[in-house]
Amino acid sequence: MTAIDEMVEILPKNQLAKITKDPAKTAEAANLMYVTDATPGIARQRKGKEFFYKLGEEKINHEKRLKRIKGLVIPPA
């Protein structure tokens, strides 16, 4: 069972209906960051043989966030 499945079971139906109408609240409830194509996203940049990640102009140093980013799998095109 995923965290989202657990959340759906815990939340009352009226509260669940309320957050599903608001993408930002839905993302927050699922412990995600809501972004649109109008907001800057996470960029990966090379430095020597390694990469670092930035959100806007700020370098991401938070270990938990870096682990999550590095764990993302992008399917081949």
Over residues 17-29, the pLDDT tens digits come to 667 778 887 788 7
pLDDT at 76 over 60: yes
Domain coordinates of the chain in residue numbers?
Answer: 1-34, 37-77
| Residue 15 three-state SS | helix
Dump pLDDT digits (tens) for 35-59: 888 877 888 999 999 999 998 889 9
Q: Reading across the β-sheet that carries 58-59, which strands appear in turn?
A: 42-47, 50-55, 58-59
Pull the structure tokens for residue 59: 């370098």
pLDDT band for position 77 (cuts 50, 70, 90):
low
Q: In one letter, which amino acid is 44?
A: R
Q: How far apart are CA 69 and CA 45, in angstroms?
A: 13
Alpha helix positions (H), 1-77:
3-10, 13-20, 23-29, 63-70
Higher pLDDT, 9 or 57: 57
Say if pTM beats, i.e. exceeds, 0.75.
no
